[in-house]
Amino acid sequence: MTLHRGKGFAAINYPIGMNLGGDPSQALVHSNPDGKFMVALSSIDLGQGMKSVTRQIAAETLGIPVGDVYVDTADSDTGPHCMGSFASRGTHRVGNAVIQAALEARSVMLEAAAEELEVNAADLETDGKGNIHVKGAPSRSITTAEACGAAQFKQGKTVSGRGIFLIPMSDVDPDTGEMTPVSCFAHAALVVEIEVDDETGEIEVLEMNSAYEVGRALNPRLVEQQLVGGAWMGMSHALWETTEPNYPDRSHGPRDFNEYVMPGPGDICTHNIAVLERPAEDAPYGGKGPGEMCANPVLPAMANAVYNAVGVRVDDLPITPEKVLRGIRQNGGARPQARR
Amino acid sequence: MTKKPVQFQLNGDQKATFVDDGQNLLDVLRRGVGDLTPKFGCAQGTCGTCTVLIDGQPHMSCLTLAETVEGKSVTTTAGLENGAELHPLQKAFMEQFAAQCGYCTPGMLMAAKALLDTNPNPTREEVVEAISGNICRCTGYEAIINAILSVAGNSPQRYGVR
């Protein structure tokens, strides 16, 4: 038995969102009489931080404390339309819709404040702490709660806004095949180091080093969390998760997601991550969102590392011990490639 | 189907209820006595999110016959916090972002509590061993392991963001 070390590298360009007939998302923002704002979405928070990020975006745009914003993603029957939480589109598509809705609501809030203060709305600014005041004259001030209350109880105005962000469908040019399926790409590069046992075909993942370019990291801790968790999913997809083959017969195989073999807490490795921030022009405050990209570079990097370690090129996933052993046997033994 | 009376301590409170033959503890906790903190995941003992402590030992409540807790003490995640005060493990999970969707969290917390109650200063390997019966699909485990280690007073970060 010999353990062979190998390193694999992969770099990816990852398109944010999708373009199957257009990619719209909507947001509705309104204030309650107490000056708290509600953002209604039909985009679901699966744990990736949709609510946290849209809350931050709404607070930033409205110019109010983040604690004054609530996000409701409860019901796609009563909420505004959204294509959904997939294709890594949430931060980018929904975030842009939230900005548009929040801008409209903000302008009504400022008009209401202007009427109360008897000034021009264009002369007002928010301090992000719950106050609206005249530019250059902070003492001429009203709280956002007072402005929203006055709008609803004195002026008869709804402090609300509608937002939609749409990437329209891009037709394919029949002559050239040219199309513009996406507006925004995120990028990543990853190096993985592994050890392959040439007797059992088992792979131990030793270390990952990666760099992710995600636009502006709107919530750095959530970005970090997604990158770490996503790399685990990539590892699981690359090396573990399958329903095939099963011995001695099919009935011994896993029948649902629950029975997949997945890496446990003892199988994870050191992962050093560099987050590069290049704010994207058409993204909400520059944030693209990491999404599915967290898992993607791990797969090709892992396949390259297996080749580097034992000279076996596995081109279907996952790279199970059986496939590695079959490859080694076919080659007449392990063929470690040059160390990089 | 016969019903059996069962009495047990739930997070320090005396509970008395009737259970069906073969009814599992998870079902009795959630539907019988209304403690929704242990989660229903796989119902076959592979995911660990239903983990509760029975007389201090971690058990998968989906695989535990309810009648076997007669006279015993059951602790769930609802028993961790003290009024408004979160348990140190809950605080660490929150501060260290040790949850994404959060579905595994109750089981992770109970497995971690069982470990720290008997071994207040575990190594990383002991933490890994203690939560190896609990599946997490989101976090990649790293943040969970670090949160548990931080409660035990040491926090070797194995990943870093520059």
Q: Which domains, and CATH codes, for chain B? A: 3-79 (3.10.20.30), 88-151 (1.10.150.120)
Mean pLDDT, residues A108-126 taken together: 97
Residues 6+ apart with CB under 8 A from A249: none
Q: Residue B78 half-sphere exposure, CB side, CA atoms within 13 Å? A: 15
Q: Is B100 an interface residue toward A (CB < 8 Å)?
A: yes
Q: Is B1 an interface residue toward A (CB < 8 Å)?
A: no
Q: Tell which residue, B104, B115, B102, B101, has the closest CA to residue B148.
A: B115
pLDDT digits (tens, 9 = 90+) for A155-184: 999 999 999 999 988 888 999 988 887 778
Q: What's the pTM?
A: 0.91
Residue B9: left (phi > 0), alpha (psi -120 to 50), or beta? beta
Cβ–Cβ below 8 Å for B142 and A220 = no
Cβ–Cβ below 8 Å for B44 and A258 = yes
Phi, psi for B77 (deg, rounded to 5): -60, -30
DSSP A150-191: HIIIII----EEEEEEEE---PPPTTT------S-EEEEEEE
Cβ–Cβ below 8 Å for B158 and A274 = no
With a pLDDT cut of 90, the percent of chain A lying above it is 80
Q: Are strands B73-75 and B3-10 parallel, antiparallel or unpaired?
A: parallel
Domains and CATH numbers, chain A: 3-16+184-330 (3.30.365.10), 23-167 (3.30.365.10)
Mean pLDDT, residues A101-121 taken together: 98
At A42 the three-state DSSP class reads coil
Give me the sign of the Cα torsion angle B159, A299, B104, A57. Answer: positive
Q: Are strands A37-40 and A23-31 parallel, antiparallel or unpaired?
A: antiparallel
The H or E element spanning position A139 is strand A137-143
Q: Tell which residue, A212, A214, A217, has the closest CA to residue A184.
A: A214
Mean pLDDT, residues A304-327 taken together: 96
Mean pLDDT, residues A57-72 taken together: 97
- Distance between alpha carbon A87 and the CA centroid of its chain, in Å? 9
Cβ–Cβ below 8 Å for B97 and A224 = yes
Considering only CB atoms, which chain B residues are within 8 Å of A233? 137, 140
Q: Tell which residue, B103, B124, B140, B127, has the closest CA to residue A263.
A: B140
Mean pLDDT, residues A224-243 taken together: 93
Mean pLDDT, residues A139-151 taken together: 96
Measured distance CA(B105)–CA(B41) in Å, rounded: 12
Kindly state the tokens that stand for A242: 């399958």
Cβ–Cβ below 8 Å for A265 and B100 = no
Indicate the residue of B42, B102, B128 with minimum beta-carbon distance to A265: B128
Residues 6+ apart with CB under 8 A from A74: none
On average, the pLDDT of chain A sits at 93
Cβ–Cβ below 8 Å for A271 and B128 = no
Cβ–Cβ below 8 Å for B160 and A272 = yes
Query: At CA B97, angle to CA B91 and CA B103, rounded to 5?
Result: 90
Residue type at A147? A
Q: According to the model, what pLDDT value does residue B154 have?
A: 57
Cβ–Cβ below 8 Å for A268 and B102 = no
Report the chain B residue with the minimal C-alpha distance to residue A237.
B137
Cβ–Cβ below 8 Å for B141 and A264 = yes
Indicate the residue of A229, A264, A265 with minimum beta-carbon distance to B100: A229
How crowded is residue A208: how many other Cβ atoms within 10 Å of its Cβ?
Answer: 26
Q: How confident is the model at residue A33 (pLDDT cuts 50, 70, 90)?
A: confident
Q: How confident is the model at residue A76 (pLDDT cuts 50, 70, 90)?
A: confident
Measured distance CA(A50)–CA(B107) in Å, rounded: 24
Q: Is A227 an interface residue toward B (CB < 8 Å)?
A: yes
* Class of residue A221 by CB neighbours under 10 A (exposed 0-12, middle 13-18, buried 19+): middle
Query: At CA A32, angle to CA A27 and CA A33, rounded to 5?
Result: 155
Report the chain B residue with the minimal C-alpha distance to residue A266.
B128
Q: According to the model, what pLDDT value does residue B162 have?
A: 42
Is the pLDDT assigned to residue A206 strictly greater than 90? yes
Q: Are strands A131-134 and A137-143 parallel, antiparallel or unpaired?
A: antiparallel
Considering only CB atoms, which chain B residues are within 8 Å of A272? 159-160, 162
Considering only CB atoms, which chain A residues are within 8 Å of B101? 46-47
Inter-residue long-range contacts of A324-329, CB under 8 Å, 24+ positions, other chains counted: A324/A196, A324/A201, A324/A202, A324/A203, A325/A200, A325/A201, A328/A198, A328/A201
With a pLDDT cut of 70, the percent of chain A lying above it is 99
Mean pLDDT, residues A132-140 taken together: 94
DSSP B3-51: EEEEEEEETTEEEEEEEETT-BHHHIIIIIS----S--S-SSSSS-TTE
Query: At CA A162, angle to CA A156 and CA A164, rounded to 5?
Result: 175
Q: According to the model, what pLDDT value does residue A305 have?
A: 98
Q: Are strands A270-276 and B159-161 parallel, antiparallel or unpaired?
A: parallel
Indicate the residue of B132, B135, B158 with minimum beta-carbon distance to A270: B158
Q: Tell which residue, A12, A8, A13, A10, has the closest CA to residue A207.
A: A8
Q: According to the model, what pLDDT value does residue B160 have?
A: 47
The rounded average pLDDT for each run of 10 residues, N- to C-terminus, in chain B (162 residues) is 93 96 96 96 93 97 97 97 92 93 96 95 94 94 94 59 45
Q: According to the model, what pLDDT value does residue A47 have?
A: 85
Q: How confident is the model at residue A79 (pLDDT cuts 50, 70, 90)?
A: very high
Kindly state the tokens that stand for B118: 């008997």
Q: How confident is the model at residue A243 (pLDDT cuts 50, 70, 90)?
A: confident
- Distance between alpha carbon B137 and the CA centroid of its chain, in Å? 17
Residue type at B138? C
